[in-house]
Amino acid sequence: MLYGAALAMAWALSISQDIIARFEGQRFRLPSRVYAEPPVLARGLDVTRFKILDRLSNAGYRRVSARPVGPGQYDVEPDRVEVGVRAFTGGDRKLPAYRVVLDLADGRVTQVSSPDRKVTPPYAIEPEVVSGLFERVWEERELVRVGDTPRDLVNAILATEDSRFLDHAGIDPIGIARALVTNLRSGSVQEGGSTITQQLVKNLFLTPERTLSRKVREAGMALVLDALYDKDEILDVYLNAIYLGQRGAMGIYGVGEAARYYFGKPLKDLSTGECAMLGGIIRSPGRFDPYRHPDAARERRAVVLKRMVATHRLTPEQAERASRAPLSQSYAPGPPEGAPYFVDMLRDELESAYSDKTLTAGGLRVMSTLDPVLQHEAERAVSDGVERLEKQRDEHHPEGDPSRLQAVLIELDPDTGSIRSMVGGRDYRSSPYNRAVRSRRQPGSLFKPFLYARALEGKGDFRPTLATPVEDREITVKYERQVWKPTNYDGRYRGVVPIHEALAQSLNTPAVRIWQKVGATALRERLVSVGFGGKLPAVPALALGAADVTPLEVARAYGVLASGGLRSEPTTVRAVVDANGTVLTRTRPRATRVMDPEVAYLVTWTLQEVLDTGTGASARALGLERPAAGKTGTTDDYRDAWFAGYLPGRVVVVWVGRDNNEPVGMVGARAALPIWVDYVTHTSWWPPDELMAPEGVDFAEVDPETGMLATAACPHSQRLPFAAGTQPTRPCPLHPTLLDRVREPDGMPSDASTRSRQEEAPPPRSKPAPNERDDGTWDWLKGLF
């Protein structure tokens, strides 16, 4: 007996120091917080699409009618918005509290000013909190103490979780016996036998395994903890550590944060009914969520109120009034899902760059690249898009079914690599697998722009331009004792077409002929240079997308085209700041030149044709009005549907498919492009801008039938871009003018007429007018092939 007691005492002493260290470390530590990109206010901003009022509300600002506004307040009038920006220390700059005024006209900002002149442009608002990181777990906490907690909430928790908490020594044999009887009578689990101290020990020190040895350790450690600390100290930690629900990838821990999440108010303002509801959620946050399961939540509240009356913590009259109160219908401000796929990638990026000691230090500010409004619209566009496709096809698959349609949407800034929004699947709860980063799928025709880019760079005697004709006929390719006969997606052949039309119409046989000229090694090198990883087989089908890539790799590669040939590495982190405001590290954009700007623009110009007259022309009918470039992609048997596109400063990629790789049954223009257009049109809050040609690009009027310089006699002409010095110099032979028939002494045709056409040509623009297109017969060129 004495020997056993001695052993128990020795064990208690051995673990007491560990308990003290862990318990003290958990008492009042703030989690590290992840912040979104600070919203920038500037002239030209469409405040409705930018959702300025939602952004202010989500950041905790209050609307007032008095001026001047104070920090954390804003005032709205039809032609004016005034904001009292709170002081904030981020990774890029330290902002004092200041006022900013937006003058409006027709829903756009016409002028931005700061009356107190404390800061200089650009003017920004403090960013929203996206998520919290505590002990490497995504969660959010708001620290509270027992003295600051409503008495009704403490009583509700004690009544349901541990009614003898103030009397026992860490474990409660009487409570265990009472819970056993109650549960046997009801036929279900209505009460638990674990004390609050035991629950705390389980959460802080032990694994969740259900074994007798763990239960014995839990009881012993609860006795030690109760001996080391008083009841208020234990309750302090419990109130801040208890799990109370989930918001996307982020757990809700502690009663302070739960009050804001479920009821949209500070803890001190909770009513008796709300206190009972919050106390009742502890047993099973998913089952008793008042918004997802209101009936179960209402019943649970009634049980808690009854227990509070039975333990003399509430009068019957108070309980009756509280039971009649409606359930609150106000979730806390902020993104409802916390951008779960984005924060999962951010966590991976942090863990690869920073030590555990840094990440778990507490109080860090992680400044991310996320725009919450873009993220919300991305989630909406994906959800609406896949539901629309399922209705069109009359599909009905349950959650978790690998046959269910999935979709990915990514937006990044091509100049910095900053990821602005990310959706890795249609529903994070049912499938947290991030397809945007981890899923490798064939890209189909998304490789073609890089094939043509490599061709336009020139190789030996093969130095084509956008006007260079290429055959669109049946072709047979022999390689490695195999025979491959690619066909166009529509089964038709057009004879001879210029390169820009072959790409805009996504024709397969011209692409294979270009591949034969470029070579397998050169194409692979080009694909690697723009950011594609994984295996890239040196086979002819690589020209048509016969490789596995991730949507994020596609976004990075199309960012090269959008930025004029510069490759930036995708990132979710801008900076990490410690609790004292010291910048621990800052992500500085690093761009590498991997393509000549002239070549990048030639491809961009052609990809604008995709949206005007090519395979993506339906985008205009869907509502896309501003200049944009992009490419559709569809794989064999319609298993993957893609659209990758870009506007100035924005690259957006959409993928639609199934996890089991079964056919989607639709091309990229039908499945992915509508989601892309929906998202882009709802998030374009700056005035439209052109995709401008760089220096080193010249434009020339060419005959669409021959690709030669248009003459005054040509019935049609088209203005095409060329790298300086590569534009055609000979006039169109099908439509010569009288001057063209005159021979110079050296026997060459005169270029007087073509010179006049070039001089009279209008300024460059991003896309041809509809009447400048002509399909032509190219009969005279057929002998060239």
Residue 549 has φ and ψ, to the nearest 5°, of -135, 165
Residue 161 annotated to the active site = yes
Helix, strand, or coil (residue 258) = helix
Query: Which position has the token pair 């397809």?
Result: 435
Secondary element (H or E) of residue 220 = helix 212-228
Determine which one of 37, 126, 161, 411 is catalytic. Answer: 161
- Cross-strand bridge partners of residue 577: 365, 583
**C-alpha span between 192 and 177 (Å, rounded):** 10
What's the Cα-to-Cα distance from 33 to each of 36, 247, 405, rounded to whole Å? 10, 15, 33
- CA max distance for the chain: 123
In terms of C-beta density within 10 A (0-12 exposed, 13-18 middle, 19 or more buried), how is residue 330 classed? exposed
Beta pairing class for 419-423 and 405-412? antiparallel
Which residues, in sequence order, are CB contacts of 419 under 8 Å at separation 6+? 342, 345, 369, 370, 410, 411, 412, 570, 571, 572
Measured distance CA(428)–CA(122) in Å, rounded: 35
C-alpha–C-alpha distance, residues 749 and 261, integer Å: 79
Helical pair 372-393 and 673-682, crossing angle rounded to 10 deg: 150
For residue 72, CA distances in Å to 3, 69, 94, 115 come to: 64, 8, 17, 16
Q: CB–CB of 159/313 below 8 Å? A: yes
Angle of helix 272-281 relative to helix 255-263, nearest 10 degrees?
Answer: 110
3-class SS string, 623-634: CCCCCCEEEEEE
Q: Which amino acid is at 16?
A: S
Task: Spot the catalytic one: 194, 439, 445, 563.
Answer: 445
569/557 Cα distance (integer angstroms): 10
- Rounded CA separation 157/282 (Å): 8
Active site residue 194: no
The residues carrying an active-site annotation are 161, 445
